[in-house]
Amino acid sequence: MTGHFQPGQSVTVKSISTMLGASIMPTREAMNRLIAEGALELRPNRTVVVPVLSAREFDEVTDLRCHVEGLAAEQAVDYFKPEHIQELKAFDAMMRKAAKSGDIDAYVTNNFQFHFVMYKLGATPFVLSIIESLWVRIGPLIRMSINETGFDDSAKVHAEMISALETGRKIELRQAIVLDICGAARAVRPAQSDLARTAPPRRRGAR
């Protein structure tokens, strides 16, 4: 979800178990679960890779994010407390600091934390699982596009989200979420197009 792996990158049980300091069996089970959920793709040669989204899949993920994340944020208005506003402001400040220092990992991680403060407040566990599955698909592309195009300026729209949540303006909060997602999609689309153009064809039935 924070884009540690790039689209098209191959991963192995051994490399993941080494990275996480985990044993082989639970690592293999986790990878099989991610393959079943479409977060990883099993190629015909048995290689496991991070999927490369087609243009249609990218558009579908973007549209779904606008609907589901907008709904979760809107519903968060009914449950937020002052400490949640402070959390949002802290994550946003760390994002701006990371952008100035060029720390992509910190920027992406704090953006993730910023959004999920709201989503965890407003979404049921089922809806939250849908949002997480969408971020699993889009996270690698977001991280990669920052590498290629630089940091997007999300400070203004994040400030609008915080203000709308604090003052109970549900429609404005949802609109700000959609604006943020669509702005990110515009920045990501060139990287997605380049990847999709050079990616090997998928086996029939692969998603």
49 inside domain: no
62 inside domain: yes
For 90, half-sphere exposure in the C-beta direction (CA atoms, 13 angstrom radius) is 8
Give the structural domain span for 176.
55-197
Using pLDDT thresholds of 50, 70 and 90, give the confidence band for residue 202: low
13 inside domain: no
15 inside domain: no
Q: Identify the pLDDT of residue 129.
A: 94
DSSP-based three-state secondary structure for 199: coil
111 inside domain: yes
77 inside domain: yes
pLDDT at 151 over 80: no
pLDDT in tens, 79-116: 999 999 999 999 999 999 998 898 988 999 999 999 99
31 inside domain: no
Cβ neighbours of residue 171 closer than 8 Å, sequence gap 6 or more:
74
pLDDT at 148 over 60: no
Q: Into how many domains does the chain fold?
A: 1
Q: Which residue has the higher pLDDT, 145 or 124?
A: 124
Handedness of CA 81, 82, 85, 87 (dihedral sign): negative
pLDDT in tens, 1-51: 888 888 889 999 999 999 889 999 999 999 999 998 888 999 888 899 998
Looking at residues 129-137, what average pLDDT do you find?
93
CATH of the domain at 85: 1.20.120.530
What's the CA gap between 31 and 139, in Å, rounded? 17
Closest CA to 157 of 138, 139, 134, 175: 175
126 inside domain: yes
